[in-house]
Amino acid sequence: MSLSAPTLHTDRLRLRPFNESDADALFALHSNAHVLRYWDAPPWSERKRAERFIAACREIEEAGTGTRLAVERVSDGVFIGWCSLNRWNPDYRSASMGYCFDDGVWGHGYATEAARSLLQWAFNTLDVNRVQAETDTRNTASARVLEKLGFVREGKLREDCVVNGEVSDSWVYGLIRREWQP
């Protein structure tokens, strides 16, 4: 079952399906060691990774398991990051959410705004009941984004990944439909 990637709009942002012209900006984002300092994969060193990422976006949509959307500012059309809903399971009415934004736009509420729009789509269109998200325990900014959206910290995954050669813990967050405040 294919999942059609939506185009979502907020006052300041447009979330849209990725296309090949996003490869350079996507590579710049994922090759930035500062942006990925809490990521469970090293920064990209070759542009081909961006092309594979974009191809994988189409694959997860065709498989019907989720969607990744490029996020751009409405004011200037500049790509500033991405937001995703993956591991969508219509039987369990659950999914996982993730996001990654350029460090030049941190602190402006873009991640919260984009994630809120994606959550609205998930709850209203996909009839999701639960969305889960994880973040490195050192990434307090990401934790604040999730908490602003109404996510509840449900636990900690101890030493669940290696970040820059260092074993790291992750917080698990959950948001239930009945607790969602659009």
pLDDT of 35 > 60? The answer is: yes
User: What pLDDT is stored for residue 151 in this prediction?
Assistant: 98
Rounded to 10°, the helix 140-148/110-125 angle is 50
- Tens of pLDDT, residue by residue over 164-177, are 788 999 999 999 99
Q: Distance between CA atoms of 116 and 9, rounded to whole angstroms?
A: 11
Q: What number is the average pLDDT over the span 4-32?
A: 95
Quote the pLDDT of residue 1: 56
Sorted by where each starts, the structural domains of the chain and their CATH numbers stand as 8-128 (3.40.630.30)
- Residue indicated by tokens 């500049």: 78
